[in-house]
Amino acid sequence: MGHADVRYYGADESAVMQAMRELRAMLMVKWIWQDALGVISLERLTTELSDFADACVCFAKDYAWHKTAERYGVPMTSSVQLAQTGMGGMGKKSPKIMPDEFAVIAMGKLGARELNLSSDIDLIFVHLGAGDTDISEQGKKSVENQKFMTTLGRVLIRLLNDHSEHGFVFRVDMRLRPWGDGSPLIMSLSALEKYFNQHGRTWERFAWLKARVVNPVSTPFADELSAVMKNFVYRYYIDYTAFSALREMKTLIMAQQAQRQDTDNVKLGVGGIRDIEFIAQAFSLIYGGHHLALGERSACLDVLSMLGELDYLDDDECTKLMDAYRFLRRLEHAIQARHDEQTQRLPMGDELVAIAQVLGFESVMDFQAVLARHRQNVFAPFNRMVTDRQSPTQSLGETAEMERALQGLLSADSLHLLDEFWQSKLVASLEPDAKARLDGAYPILLHALCHHAKSDGAERADDAVPRLITLLESICRRSIYLVMIAENPNATMGLIPMLSASPWIARELALHPMLLDDFLQQRYLHLPDKAELTDILRQQLLRVLPFDDEQYLTAIRTFKKSQVLAVATADILGLRHIMKVSDSLTFIAEVVLSSALSRAYDELVAKHGHPVRADGMPTDETACGFAIIGYGKLGGIEMSYASDLDVVFLHDIDEKADTVGDNVKVISGMKFASRLVQKVITYLTTQTRDGRAYELDMRLRPSGNAGVMVVSVQGFDSYQRDKAWAWEHQALVRARGIAGDKAVLDAFDNTRHQVLTAHRESEQVRQDVLSMRQKMKEHLGTKSSNQPNNHGLVQPFHIKQDFGGLIDIEFLAQFMVLAHAHAHPSLAIWSDNVRIFEEVVQTELWSADWCDRLTQAYLALRKTTHELALSEKQVVVDDDNWQAIRAFVCGVWGEVIGE
């Protein structure tokens, strides 16, 4: 069964109804038998039941359409109806007359494809738009589309729902449609969108989570309808506004359970099916717009599985909920199969014994023990969901109490700033809803401020106050963020220390409040690895249309800001070692660069075709012919918060050969390469309202600023072997392949290895390194003494450029590679200084003590640069805390490099 065959269009309605009911009875016997014997899984059973229901709905719709069209003609509408939803861009085209369409939207269990043996099916009917039927054939009466569609809907319901001596097919429930009972049976697409925008309530968003169009409709209609539904149900951000409604729904559920004392109801009782579904749907409603994969799933088991993958539920809890759901649904089927009734109440006596036996238990006592365990496993997480919030009067009382507590902790200036904010015109002019949300969030923030003042001192708390007020001024009129704070009091405790420690974080949060969501979700507790970051960005880019560069620029900047904020938070809270912090910052940059390269390549290929590789074969998506090489901190996996990206672009294409492809504008390989690099640069460096993603520095390419933007692998190899200066070989030590074609990256690795392991005279390397170091100190260091003082006098110390600083340690590592890698090739493997020193220990060229102390000094200096970057301070500090480290580094420098 599926679409009505033309042979059945002329069939008598009663005969069609009888055939459908007899088919249903036959299939139900099969499914009940399979379920009783345990030879079919819950997932397969509910899928087969749902497939059958879909087929019945589609058949009934097609039959009803034909019968109604015979009477009234075909309903026609205008393409303007699609444009009126504002979703599909149809308004840019001339309107045309087209057949109206009828969509059957399945809700509830059918929508999620998880029907029971005796489930109702919840349906909603939507048609494309207003118009009249076509009466070109004689003998027909033209009617408005609304009447045609209503008549069609009634026939469809009758075919499925009406009881006869042959039974029924499915009970049809239409009460979930907008306005419920008493409202029109069907509404147009534009009317549905208008209802959602003006009257849609949160509980309806909850219901529409499982909505699914059952019957085939045209692609434009399907796309528009899907967009209207998703825009109503999901929010791009974490939807904290839903918490109050979910809290009310949970309270209602618990009140009903207490009132009924209905322990025998496996769906509605405590720890029953409804509680599991509430957990799954609550998470979907709140997080589904943020995690597309979660929003695309509606079946309860699928959602629970995804919640486990996303770490919203721990593995043990997720497994227990899924096991309980399977058990309770099988039990529900066993109950309903007795009399083909829609009931979830456990029977008594012999019937309960029979159900226990069907489910494989030797006794009712054993069955009840397992049932009780599953219910307890459900009740515990259900009870923790959206816990009660304090009343507004409690909030105001807490505000006064916190203000009194702060009197003795904050400076007079800070107290004045807080009072000035609360009495400000901004607060006075807030809409009632926004003011209520501020009333709920403000005492939580004051409590966090009070705690910070007690634990870290009044001075640190005073630093946080003006930054907190700036943040509040930014979010008061976008009060969803106040709800976020109120719903996350524990996470908010960490907000004040962040504001106190970093004006950079404070400014980012104020300028981009969406980052507050990530902070309050405590994403910093788990910093994703590169593979996870790649998948996170991939999911976020699913929302970006091809060739929509503005959307793309926003997406990669938002991604970078969000991830860097998590890293910075973990850094400030001391949750990650400095090397792990730099790893994460480097991974973020790598993922963005890889994405930019891939998108630039795809867009250029769509316009100009594929460039041809040097071997004469066209490039493709898996071997694009281009690669990005990282130098400096990017190459050395040592990025900080303010690091530029030092990059070089390489290619392995035929620069003179034209691109190849159908219906494209052919250009030369060199033009393709230049445009690709320019696109990548544009993606990363264009100044938007969200700032730049990264600053790129390409001066380390062959011939520097005088060189071409992208170099062939052959040209790069030749340059490095024959023309590169000594300082360029020093830079090559810290170079590493970042993204792109594996063959190009392998060619780079080979060149780097060959160049770095070439034999050099140690004395010449020493002189080259010393000369370069002196030039850098003269141009970039401070004007204070070149050496750490031994007189106890404090002097300025440039952590990077002055003697005894970061550059000295980096140059020592580079010297060891260039002077000794010909004899010890393992020195050339790594691009980061820490592992280079580890290799030096293995070669026994230096003592382990030297290398360990250099490594610890290097990490301490880098950690300080991170702290200074977050504090927006210069890397010039007083050297009183660094004199011992500087003396040691300079001592090593003197023995190895000399003066």
Which one-letter amino acid corresponds to residue 872? E
- Residue 333 sits in a domain whose CATH number is 1.20.120.330
Query: pLDDT tens for residues 105-137?
Result: 999 999 999 998 888 999 999 999 888 998 776
Q: Is 323 inside a domain boundary?
A: yes
Residues near 442 by Cβ (< 8 Å), separated by ≥ 6? Answer: 395, 399, 422
Q: Is 145 inside a domain boundary?
A: yes
Instruction: Report the C-alpha gap between 180 and 687 in whole angstroms.
Output: 50
Query: pLDDT tens for residues 561-584?
Result: 999 999 999 998 888 999 999 999
Give the distance, in angstroms, between the CA of residue 356 and the centroid of all CA atoms in the same chain. 44
Q: Are residues 78 and 176 in the same domain?
A: yes
Say what the pLDDT of residue 341 is. Answer: 74
Measured on CA atoms in the order 698, 701, 704, 708, is the torsion positive or negative?
negative
Q: Are residues 771 and 738 in the same domain?
A: no
Q: Are residues 161 and 304 in the same domain?
A: no
Q: Are residues 752 and 770 in the same domain?
A: no
How far from 5 is each of 11, 21, 50, 59, CA to CA, in Å? 11, 18, 21, 9
689-710 burial code (b ≥16 CB/10 A, e <16): ebeebbebebebbbeeeebbbb
Q: Are residues 246 and 223 in the same domain?
A: no
Residue 515 reports pLDDT greater than 90: no
Query: pLDDT tens for residues 182-192?
Result: 889 999 999 99
How far from 772 is each of 346, 697, 711, 801, 806, CA to CA, in Å? 85, 20, 26, 12, 15
DSSP 524: G
Q: Are residues 437 and 352 in the same domain?
A: no
Instruction: Report the C-alpha gap between 896 and 484 in whole angstroms.
Output: 57
How far from 811 is each of 81, 582, 753, 783, 800, CA to CA, in Å? 69, 20, 19, 21, 12
Q: How many CB atoms lie within 10 A of CB 881?
A: 12
Q: Is 531 inside a domain boundary?
A: no
- Residue 507 sits in a domain whose CATH number is 1.20.120.1510
Q: Are residues 847 and 881 in the same domain?
A: yes
Q: Output helix, strand, coil percentages for the chain, rounded to the nearest 5.
A: 60, 10, 30
Instruction: Report the C-alpha gap between 251 and 594 in whole angstroms.
Output: 48
Instruction: Report the C-alpha gap between 241 and 237 in whole angstroms.
Output: 10
Query: pLDDT tens for residues 794-829?
Result: 688 899 988 899 999 999 999 999 999 999 999 999
DSSP string, 114-172: ---TT--EEEEEEES---BEE--STT----BHHHHHHHHHHHHHHHHH--BTTB-S--E
What is the rounded average pLDDT for all residues in the chain? 87
The mean per-residue pLDDT over the stretch 204-213 comes to 90
Q: Is 236 inside a domain boundary?
A: no
Instruction: Report the C-alpha gap between 604 and 659 in whole angstroms.
Output: 10
Q: Are residues 191 and 49 in the same domain?
A: yes
Q: Among 333, 361, 384, identify where a domain stops.
A: 384
Query: pLDDT tens for residues 617-660?
Result: 999 888 999 999 999 999 999 999 989 999 999 999 999 999 99
- Domain span at residue 113? 6-231
Q: What is the four-CA torsion angle of 494, 497, 502, 506, rounded to 10 degrees?
A: 60
Q: Is 859 inside a domain boundary?
A: yes
Q: Are residues 223 and 161 in the same domain?
A: yes
Q: Are residues 22 and 161 in the same domain?
A: yes
Domain count, the chain: 5
β-pairing verdict for 102-107 and 876-878: unpaired
In contact, 485 and 444? CB cutoff 8 Å: yes
Residues near 661 by Cβ (< 8 Å), separated by ≥ 6? Answer: 605, 608, 609, 610
Q: Are residues 635 and 751 in the same domain?
A: yes
Q: Is 130 inside a domain boundary?
A: yes
In contact, 673 and 612? CB cutoff 8 Å: no
Copy the structure tokens of residue 456: 């870290």
Instruction: Report the C-alpha gap between 86 and 90 in whole angstroms.
Output: 8
Instruction: Report the C-alpha gap between 653 and 619 in whole angstroms.
Output: 8
Task: State pTM to two decimals.
Answer: 0.71
Q: Among 691, 723, 756, identify where a domain stops.
A: 756
Q: What is the four-CA torsion angle of 525, 531, 533, 536, rounded to 10 degrees?
A: -110
Say what the pLDDT of residue 756 is. Answer: 97
In contact, 123 and 106? CB cutoff 8 Å: yes
pLDDT tier at 393, thresholds 50, 70, 90: very low
Q: Are residues 368 and 412 in the same domain?
A: no
Rounded to 5°, angle at Cα 423 from 418 and 426: 100
Q: Is 428 inside a domain boundary?
A: yes
Copy the structure tokens of residue 693: 């993603």
Look at the block and give the residue holding tokens 């001075």.
459
Q: Among 231, 257, 278, identify where a domain stops.
A: 231
- Residue 112 sits in a domain whose CATH number is 3.30.460.10
Residues near 878 by Cβ (< 8 Å), separated by ≥ 6? Answer: 794, 795, 796, 797
Short-list 582, 589, 595, 529, CA closest to 560: 589
Query: pLDDT tens for residues 466-495?
Result: 999 999 999 888 887 888 888 778 888 889
Q: Is 73 inside a domain boundary?
A: yes
